[in-house]
Amino acid sequence: MKGFVPTPLPVVDLMVAKLFDKMPPTPEDTLLDPGCGRGAFIDGIIRWCDKNNQKIPRIAGVDSDPNHIVIACEKYSGYPSIQIRHADFLLQALGRKFEFIIANPPYVPITGLTKQEKREYRTRFHSATGRFDLYFLFFEQALHCLKKDGRLVFITPEKYLSVKSASQLRIILSEYSIDEIDLIHEQSFRNLVTYPAVTTITHRKLDGPTTIVFRDGNTKSVEMPKDGTSAFPSLYGKTEKKAGYCTLGEICLRVSCGVATGVDAVFVHKKNGIPRNLKKYSFPTITGRDLSLNSYVVQSDLEMITPYEANGKLIPESQLGALKEFLLIPENHCRLLKRTCTAKKPWYAFHENPPLNQILQRKILCKDITEKPFFRIDESGEIVPSHSVYYIIPKNPDHLEVLNDYLNSSEVRLWLESNCQRAANGFLRLQSTILKQVPVPFSILENGWLSGQKTSLLHGPEDSANIAVNG
């Protein structure tokens, strides 16, 4: 059963209302529900038609799961205009087009697909690029099935608006009119789906802006980018590269996520819990939780045992010595072998090789998820940050303090609030792709950053309004 998450009734009714808004269906119209499951949307359409005294259109529900099909077939056996079909929507052609399409497609990340599925999808779908998700392909396939002037309403994670792997999907969508993106409440699926977005599309050449309905109820009209770049700057703010500015990525050696061991229970321990004979392999580490807005001190009582040499190379197994004995303790060994993220690596390697030769120097640290972004300097240069911390190393070490002061300025905070993806409860997700785009005025690198100095990172009245909304 791939990606079965039933749509809650209030969300179904909201989506059906959007589908038929100013476009009520006639009994001759055709409607497709791909991935229909047990018929949550079909029930919603019947409810809407009853309430609005309309006859139901001709509905086709398609699902690849035979168990759902049995339930749906039985449920709609008394409705001659509803057909339930057992088929793979992505691989079997339906042979016709529809006036209306509504779906909650399966959300299945690439890691949930078999090798053969990945290969097949990559050859069939333009949107199957990078670390694609199955719902990208449902979007693409459904758009092929949409009649001219037909309407489609999909609920998916909002991620497709910003992630790199969805850039091809965004290019495909740019050929249609994206009428509205309703960023519905985070808890709509309890905790099952993060950041749901209800997208309403009409099959006609894009002829106007898209209405964005934000989670706080505010709305905004935006021009969606047509070149596959992230839509987030259009949604949450707008930055132009101005003369006199570079980006943080351009002046840094690294703007990276901390070290992912793949199994912290084996490698990360309290300082006093690490046996003396393993001390030479361990480095102080820090998690996002240990960084505090109220303190400039960067410390924790945790250490990370690392089977890596100072140059970042994995220590050969034959030279692990006491560390090998520790890693072979049955509890540790079992945890190490259970990892799937390191399948093609030596059994004791981290999820990613840590570039210790670069990490082990003075650097700027920040939490990956935070209510208010702030930055702190690791003065010791000895900390190997964990994966819930980002680290920033300027190419010129002399820029460390000035950059840290600047990153802690209200200007940068407003920029991050306008450009970062949202995590739960309105917290910000500080990904490296976004951090690398933080505009940095050349002048501060030459003359230093005076606290209270004002720069103009955000332009135009629309941006200031947006900050008030999101700030």
Ligand X SMILES: C[S@@+](CC[C@H](N)C(=O)[O-])C[C@H]1O[C@@H](n2cnc3c(N)ncnc32)[C@H](O)[C@@H]1O
Which parts of this chain interact with ligand X (CB under 6 A)?
1-7, 35-37, 40-41, 62-65, 68, 88-90, 104, 106
Nearer CB in complex with ligand X: 156/409: 156
Distance in Å, CB of 313 to ligand X, minimum = 43
**Distance between CA atoms of residues 296 and 396, nearest Å:** 22
Distance in Å, CB of 2 to ligand X, minimum = 4
Nearer CB in complex with ligand X: 37/262: 37
In angstroms, how far is CA 226 from the centroid of its own chain? 20
Nearer CB in complex with ligand X: 65/179: 65
Tokens of 300: 């924790």
Nearer CB in complex with ligand X: 138/406: 138
Distance in Å, CB of 343 to ligand X, minimum = 25
Distance in Å, CB of 34 to ligand X, minimum = 6
Given the DSSP bridges, would you call strands 146-157 and 98-103 parallel, antiparallel or unpaired? Answer: parallel
Nearer CB in complex with ligand X: 142/366: 142
Distance in Å, CB of 41 to ligand X, minimum = 6
Which of 407, 406, 402, 433 is CA-nearest to residue 420?
433
**Distance between CA atoms of residues 244 and 65, nearest Å:** 57
Helix or strand run (H / E) with residue 394: strand 389-394
DSSP state at residue 139: H
Nearer CB in complex with ligand X: 155/359: 155
**Distance between CA atoms of residues 135 and 315, nearest Å:** 41
Q: Sort residue 383 into left (φ over 0), alpha (ψ -120 to 50) or beta.
A: beta
Nearer CB in complex with ligand X: 189/415: 189
Distance in Å, CB of 1 to ligand X, minimum = 6
- For 107, 165, 202, 224, the CA distances from 126, given in Å and listed in that order, are 18, 11, 20, 20
Distance in Å, CB of 191 to ligand X, minimum = 15
Residue pointed to by tokens 């140059």:
311
Tokens of 295: 């303190």
Which of 4, 62, 54 is CA-nearest to residue 36?
62
Backbone angles phi, psi at 169, to 5 degrees: -60, -40
**Which residues, 6 or more positions from 192, have their beta carbon under 8 angstroms from its beta carbon?**
5
Nearer CB in complex with ligand X: 62/336: 62
Distance in Å, CB of 301 to ligand X, minimum = 43
